Structure 1
Amino acid sequence: MGGPLVLLFVMCIGIIAAERKITIADKLREDSDLSQFLSLLERNAVANTSLQYRQLTMFAPTNEAFQRYNGEMDDSLVLYHISNLATTLTNLDYAISSEFDGNPPLWVTRRKDHMHDDIYINNAKVYVSRSFQSTNRNGKRQVLHVIDQVLQPLQPHGPGSSSSSVYNPNAYQFLEHSDEFNIGQHRLRSFRQKVNQLQKKEVFNADGRNTFFIPVDEGFKPTTRSDLIDEKVVDGHVIPHHVLFTQATRDTQEYETLAFSDNVKVIISFSTAMNGKEEITYVKSNTVAGDTKHSRGVVLADIVKANIPVKNGVVHLIQRPLMVVDTTVVDFLKEKEDGPLCKFYEVILDLGANNQFFKELTIAKDITLFAPSNEAWNEYSVQNIIRNHQKLMDILNLHLVRDRLPMDAIIHNNMNQIYQAPTAAPRKYLYFNVLIHGHNQTLTVEGGGVNATVTQPNIAATNGFVHIIDRVLGVPYTTVFEKLKTDPMLNITYNLGKRQMFNHQLNEMEHRYTYFVPRDHAWLKFQIRHPSAFKALFKEDFGYFTKQILERHVIRAGRAYTVSDLKLLANETHPFVLPTSRDPLRLRVKESDKNYYVEWNGHWIHVFRPDVECTNGIIHVIDEPFVLESDVRATGAADTLRLAYTVFLLILSFGFARIIQD
């Protein structure tokens, strides 16, 4: 009897459990991480009724999301997190209607990553694994999605003020009635006036899915800036067919604006940067094709109030108008106290308001400034340099080119040869390299031994361009070994140095190294002249010869020698002998047409990049290796010897085979 009774008991328990299926309301009460949302929900009669009797989808922010939220908090906010349709993640369309006053839409973004799709509701990311669906006590289907931000609707001013006459406004209605909405201290009258004056109302009234950028009144200083806004500039503030919330949009992904036509082409993208512990989001317009009224280049503006949802998309309030180029390089540096280059500007001013570098930035007509980001100045090695004003002046000059160099001009100049641009620092050049990843191009720049990546190119100014880079040039942070390993121009020498562990010494900090490093182009020229010798250098059993040749290029001593040092010691008439671990290196040095040459073994070799500073020495990149004819013959003789030895073994093997056969 025990068996049937147990089975009956289990079946009863199963029936009871089935009847008591967990509802969305149960799920909210059980999950302590959703307690603040539950508290808000319980205070709203409409939400409670919906939960008991209606079909719905609920987007529940976590407690952490509520702790970060700094908007208005009344119980009606919960209705912006509820829709009266039960919709799973799979069935979510590009928008879903909310229960908030006027039924404003919640915008859905699916952002594809390598492994999975991320889903966002407005600017809030959905925790996909925590989604849950069930039916309530009345059999109505309900769905719960957990999100990482509180959804913030566009609301009129606080409870004490009169309600707005507009519910669920589109972008133009928001612009027209912006004084009635809770958008902080921001005023939009200047841009609204231009939109009405230019009869561009329909651009912001357009149905569908759009992203709108509206500059605040503070961005119309100087007042002449307003005169530069025409119909095309207004179009450049609208991205059609895409609703782009900041967290849901990838950095640097480009979108065509309404100002993308046959003559003028304007694209927009987002970027983020850290300013101390605060993350700032910028929007940039890039006029890739311009005309007489619209200058090519990037205009950068930070978003002062992001992610304002409207009926036909989303609005972002920005610090200044896009597309309008009316500031100098210096104006851009000092435009905002917490701007993307505020630390660079502080460093310049620390040298004194009348320092030579600042004067040149102010009066120059055609310049390009490679400006280190705020984060770049936090490096420990950089902090030490700032205190040395003379050294700092040299470093600042290394970031300035007295010419207009937009990114496409640099890439074009770099197509057939390594492009080098003279800087404001005497006899110092910048060297460029273009890295291609699919359709994306990344520009790197090297100066004074430091390789930096251009993180924000082509910021346009009336007197030139600014490119933001991720490191301070001229302040070394790598050893000779690390520089060899990472410099794309020195791959062959680095790979040769792997033989016999030759490179390992170049990481030591006890000595100072002066290394004459043949660039890849130099070795390729050597390969054409001596193909068998070049091939032999990479063979496993010729590592000794390779090491001997490289030893001739390295001076290990108590100090490192710049080219200027060597020129003083070894001019055109008197050679100077430098000790190497191979044979003494006898050099003469001359300067011709702003280039340096070293004389070795009777002929002059161009120093392509002098004085590449490292933390434990200096690299001089040269256009020809220090290889003697005897080295070539030695590798050739060794090659012959190896061939003879192989033949000898074959003959020996053949002889043994004959003996066995006999």
Structure 2
Amino acid sequence: MTRKLLLAMGLLLYAALVESADLMELIASKPELSQVDNIIKSDEVLSSLLKSKSYMAFLPNDKALSAYQGVKDSTLISYHLSNLPYLVQDMPDELNTDLVGNPRVYVSKVPSGQPSITGWEHLHVYINDAKVIDANHRAISSRGMKQVLHIVDRVITPTVPRGVDFSQIDLMYLNPDAQKLIEKPRYYGLEGPLSISEFEGRVNALNLHDVYNITGKNTFFIPVDTGINTMQGKTVIDKQVIHGHVVPGKVLFTRTVKDSRDEYESLAFTDNLKVFISMENVSSSDNEDQYYVKSRTIASDVAHMKGTALARIVKGNIPIKNGVAHLIDRPLMLVATNVLAILQRTAQLSMFYDLIKNHNADLKNMMIVAKSLTVFAPSNEAFKKVNKRQLEQIQMNTEKISRLLRLHIVERILTTDELMDRNREPNLQVPTLNKGQNLYFAINFMDTESPVVTVEGAGVTGTLTTANVIARNGAVHIVDRLLGIPSQTVYEKLATDPILSATFNLSQQEGWNEKLKNRDERFTLFVPTNDAWADIRRTMPSAYKKLFMGLFAYHVRNILERHMIANSAFTLEDLLSLTTNATVSGKNIQQHRLNMTRGKVYFQARVTQSFGDSADENDTLIVVDMVKDGNTTGQTSSEYYTDWNGVRAKVIRPDLKCVNGVVHVIDKVMMMNRDVTVSGSAVPAASGLASLVATFFTVAFARALHH
């Protein structure tokens, strides 16, 4: 009998035993519910009901109640009770509670990926924004009616009038829908920094109250006054913008939204205007939860721009009769500020903003007055991925910190729409504010709804996690890496750069690339792009098939090691020094010669056909052509090549620096058809063993016949 089965049987036996107790006795038996137990016992009516009637209780534990700042009384506990005793896995998606007016709670179920031992562990179950952490404790009332207890990790807060005589107000305000909430926000404590009167004024002026009394389960985002008062002209909040703050037919509590890529159609989704809404938790593990909402306008009209607007949820999870409301710090869909203000007001970009503010006043001013900028802004989480000491050293050098910051900025508006339009361009790149430094882009269309866009700057590749946050003078894209400071190994670089995925997949055969994880080693790799391998597939289909089928690891290793220099990390500047017979400081290189992992490398300038003094086909020549305006000159340009046996590959992205080496991206694979053979010493180890065994048995069988 398995351990899981024994555990399940034990739990079922325990459940059978406790069903002889009523709900009050069951609660009293739980040490983690001592505070709830005391509250209930102080109310004789509630205690009596829980002993005699059918109830389902979903009660907060002591830790949750201790963290709760509101009034802790029997009224609060009534919002955690329903007269229908459901097991947690059988709960419907909404329940009426025992609180006055019977306000609803909403149930969300998310797969947990765990096995179901007692019937519910395969689910994460949320009641409003509280997670069920213990479930299905059964009891039976004194009248023989079923009762069930569940334990949650947060207090579920009802939306009820505060400081108001209930007898003096309309009963509909006891269980408000979104319309009642924005009509009488002070009833519910929404005043001061949480005041929403400005937005309600626009709703009233446009006669759009019907948007907020739609029935069913919906999600409403309501901007607070401070986010609207900073705008130039409140009339930009028109009917379509108000519709863009509502997600119909979906109740989205912050904790129930697990993937920021999940987007929902807003009410502003028509033939001409299409606006999606998504939510994202941007909290780090050591901070309080912090959530943002994004509107993404993918089809625009004359009055509304395409792009993303980002707002922070300042008060979330307000349950209402027709769903849930969240207060946000600025309106969605609108372009109402400059790029610097976006950095300043977006908490997840605070570290990047502080770098600009503290180290480059000129750049800060430029971002306010410039007419056209695009900023690739690393998130706070991106900063945590880099070496802290290295970043501190850069900050101490005015020139270095300036170059680091300017690497993230393009002096024009660049949206992902343009990048996707230009995706067919080979080596798609855009110049930065640093003269001579470009950003390189790649787009993965595996998800056709929302393609993944990556950006590379000074060898560091990041993914755009939030794109096209539009400002009056440009755009901001949030990136998950700080460009310019390597934090990845060569292995990680190959694994995450989408244009190098073919080489990475090939390098996994027999664990060849495991060595590239070693942070104490140094490597220089000339890495062919996916397009380079596609060219091999076209021109050498048989060789390509053999390499990628996984049975020719020996040949794969030979080819990859022809592209690698072990024990040294050579930048392009180092290679140029070698070609001019200069000594590379500290590397003890003699003349032009350097051993590859397989074969030799010769570095020379303006040489295109010399292969050194050896006829070995593994000898490789790195050629640096000094080209300007198409003519051979004595001046350096940005075009550099490798040359192996007449296979000439252009270095299209040099100096991708990693913590344990340097990667140079090339546009061709240094190989020939004869590299992939199944004869002689080129036989793979596995095939060689099989051949040896076959030969042994053949010889043995022949001798047996002979005798």
Counterpart residue number, 1:328: 338
Amino acid at match of 1:375: E
Residue 231, structure 1, aligned to residue 246, structure 2: no
8 Å CA contact 1:449, 1:611 repeated in 2: yes
- Shift in alpha-carbon separation, 1:583–1:499, aligned structure 2, 3 A: farther
CA positional deviation for 1:365: 3.1
TM-score (norm 1): 0.84
- Shift in alpha-carbon separation, 1:200–1:535, aligned structure 2, 3 A: closer
- Shift in alpha-carbon separation, 1:163–1:246, aligned structure 2, 3 A: farther
Residue 293, structure 1, aligned to residue 303, structure 2: yes
Counterpart residue number, 2:188: 181
Amino acid at match of 1:136: S
Q: Distance in 2 between matches of 1:287 and 1:19?
A: 55
CA positional deviation for 1:363: 3.8
Residue 585, structure 1, aligned to residue 610, structure 2: no
8 Å CA contact 1:482, 1:507 repeated in 2: yes
Amino acid at match of 1:169: P
Amino acid at match of 1:156: P
- Which among 363, 375, 383 is matched to residue 369 of structure 1? 375
- Which among 142, 146, 153 is matched to residue 147 of structure 2? 142
- Shift in alpha-carbon separation, 1:500–1:209, aligned structure 2, 3 A: closer
Counterpart residue number, 1:12: none
Q: Distance in 1 between matches of 2:54 and 2:215?
A: 28
Structure 2 spans left out of the alignment, 5+ residues = 1-15, 115-121, 582-589, 606-623, 630-636
CA positional deviation for 1:95: 2.3
Amino acid at match of 2:594: P
Residue 80, structure 1, aligned to residue 49, structure 2: no
Alignment of 1:192-591 (within 5 A): 192-252=200-260, 253-274=262-283, 277-335=287-345, 339-354=347-362, 357-388=363-394, 389=397, 390-414=399-423, 419-425=428-434, 426-434=436-444, 436=446, 441-494=451-504, 503=513, 506=516, 512-526=522-536, 528-530=538-540, 550-556=560-566, 560-567=569-576, 570=579, 577-581=592-596, 582-588=599-605, 589=624, 590=626
Counterpart residue number, 2:641: 598
Amino acid at match of 1:227: T
Q: Deviations over 1:23-48 (max 9, x none)?
A: 11110111111111111112223322
8 Å CA contact 2:649, 2:670 repeated in 1: no
8 Å CA contact 1:536, 1:542 repeated in 2: yes
Amino acid at match of 1:580: N
Deviates most, 615-624 or 177-186 = 177-186
For 2:464, what is the secondary structure of its paired residue?
A: strand
8 Å CA contact 2:108, 2:126 repeated in 1: yes
8 Å CA contact 2:232, 2:336 repeated in 1: no
Q: Distance in 2 between matches of 1:179 and 1:218?
A: 16
CA positional deviation for 1:658: 11
Amino acid at match of 1:614: C
Identical aligned pairs, as a percentage? 35
Q: Deviations over 1:226-271 (max 9, x none)?
A: 1210011111111112222211233322111111111111111110
For 1:306, what is the secondary structure of its paired residue?
A: strand
- Shift in alpha-carbon separation, 1:492–1:286, aligned structure 2, 3 A: closer
Counterpart residue number, 1:152: 157
Amino acid at match of 1:109: S
Counterpart residue number, 1:612: 656
Alpha-carbon RMSD: 3.9
Deviates most, 586-595 or 177-186 = 586-595
Deviates most, 317-326 or 542-551 = 542-551
8 Å CA contact 1:586, 1:600 repeated in 2: no
8 Å CA contact 1:555, 1:578 repeated in 2: no
Residue 36, structure 1, aligned to residue 44, structure 2: no
Q: Distance in 2 between matches of 1:411 and 1:231?
A: 31
- Shift in alpha-carbon separation, 1:359–1:383, aligned structure 2, 3 A: farther
Q: Deviations over 1:535-563 (max 9, x none)?
A: 777899987776565555444566x4332
Q: Distance in 2 between matches of 1:246 and 1:274?
A: 12
Amino acid at match of 1:279: D
Deviates most, 162-171 or 34-43 = 162-171
CA positional deviation for 1:360: 4.3
- Shift in alpha-carbon separation, 1:635–1:39, aligned structure 2, 3 A: closer
Deviates most, 496-505 or 595-604 = 496-505
8 Å CA contact 2:96, 2:103 repeated in 1: yes
- Shift in alpha-carbon separation, 1:137–1:545, aligned structure 2, 3 A: closer
Deviates most, 287-296 or 365-374 = 365-374
Q: Distance in 2 between matches of 1:438 and 1:625?
A: 30
Q: Distance in 2 between matches of 1:255 and 1:538?
A: 40
Q: Distance in 1 between matches of 2:95 and 2:508?
A: 60
Counterpart residue number, 2:586: none
Residue 97, structure 1, aligned to residue 96, structure 2: yes
The number of residue pairs the alignment matches comes to 633
Q: Distance in 2 between matches of 1:86 and 1:250?
A: 28
Q: Distance in 2 between matches of 1:369 and 1:246?
A: 28
Q: Deviations over 1:259-302 (max 9, x none)?
A: 11111111111101126522201111111111111111111111
Q: Distance in 1 between matches of 2:552 and 2:126?
A: 60
For 1:274, what is the secondary structure of its paired residue?
A: coil
Amino acid at match of 1:365: K
8 Å CA contact 2:443, 2:451 repeated in 1: no
Amino acid at match of 1:353: A
8 Å CA contact 2:58, 2:149 repeated in 1: yes
8 Å CA contact 1:66, 1:149 repeated in 2: yes
Q: Distance in 2 between matches of 1:552 and 1:19?
A: 71
8 Å CA contact 1:131, 1:146 repeated in 2: no
CA positional deviation for 1:197: 0.3
Alignment of 1:17-32 (within 5 A): 21-32=20-31
For 1:131, what is the secondary structure of its paired residue?
A: strand
Q: Distance in 1 between matches of 2:221 and 2:546?
A: 62
8 Å CA contact 2:642, 2:651 repeated in 1: no
Structure 1 spans left out of the alignment, 5+ residues = 1-16
- Shift in alpha-carbon separation, 1:162–1:641, aligned structure 2, 3 A: closer
8 Å CA contact 2:641, 2:649 repeated in 1: yes
Residue 126, structure 1, aligned to residue 132, structure 2: yes
Q: Deviations over 1:60-81 (max 9, x none)?
A: 1111211221222233211212
Amino acid at match of 1:327: T
Q: Distance in 1 between matches of 2:546 and 2:253?
A: 58
Deviates most, 597-606 or 93-102 = 597-606
For 2:254, what is the secondary structure of its paired residue?
A: coil
